[in-house]
Structure 1
Amino acid sequence: MFAEQGPVLRGFFVRRGANEDAEDLVQETYLRLLRAHDRQGGAIANPEAYLFTVALNLAREQAVRRQRSPLPIDDLEALTALLSSEESVEDAAERAQRGKRLQALLNGLPGPTRAVLVMQYRDGLSYKQIAERLGVSPHMVKKHVVRGLSVCRRALAAPAGAR
């Protein structure tokens, strides 16, 4: 079954954004299948269905982990530059302060809005890809992006102590 379903599972995980982790997730899927088989003490009625249920759960777990992981500072600076209407070069201390402020803003956003912004700016996914992962329409993804960027722009435009 591993040889037969392995490539299908790899593709399943890659389509959900786990390019680097696809092989590990395939192996974890089979490991969980084997553990379940041992716990039950007998054959699983439909191993293929069980396998893809486990794979779907692993993909969801990974999406949650990805939502909770902080953005690297380089990505924060790129997002800050995108959001900023100023063309002047900021000194390093001010840039670092804006990065911390933006990270705090992102952490304060509602979960789905933050997840959409992270998937778009950190992972480089399209609205359609994000919509497929979250199980919503591309229009809803766009609404989350607009709301999130609006909150970030307003907060970044306000003085640091005025939050």
Structure 2
Amino acid sequence: MSAFEQYYVEVLRFLTRKLRDHDSAQDLTQETFSRALTLPPGGDVASPRGLLYQIARNLLIDRYRSSKRQSHENLEDIDESCIVAPGSWQPEAQAESSQHAARLVAIIEALPPRCRQAFVLHRIDGLSQSEVAKQMGISTNMVEKHIIRAMVACREGSASGQDSKG
């Protein structure tokens, strides 16, 4: 079975979750495999799956940067006097968001290693629980327990951060 047959649906699901647009995800999935096929021959690829995910992530980043550039170019046509920053752009909201993100990162880093690995693979990398179980060599039930434990820790950490604000 080729890497295409083995990972196409998986990469497509990953990109669909990230983009929330199936058509765009199909385009980026095709581009991912196209770029993988154009890599110079002779390079040993230890993990074809890892390579495909890295290419897909890079394409997501390129797409994000491109959309930011386009939105900045469009802003040049707008009269600056009518621009009011939304609340999320205000310094206080940005600082609060940064503090919340830092708390979550600290909570995730403090998790036991296997719990953290399962949580990151599922919630950050977008793998299904069965895919995480297969990759980690544990049962799906154990993956679910790890994810629940991590989610509870994140919620408790977020709630205690909210309580300490005011």
TM bucket normalised to smaller: 0.3 to 0.5
Q: Report the TM-score when normalising by structure 1.
A: 0.47
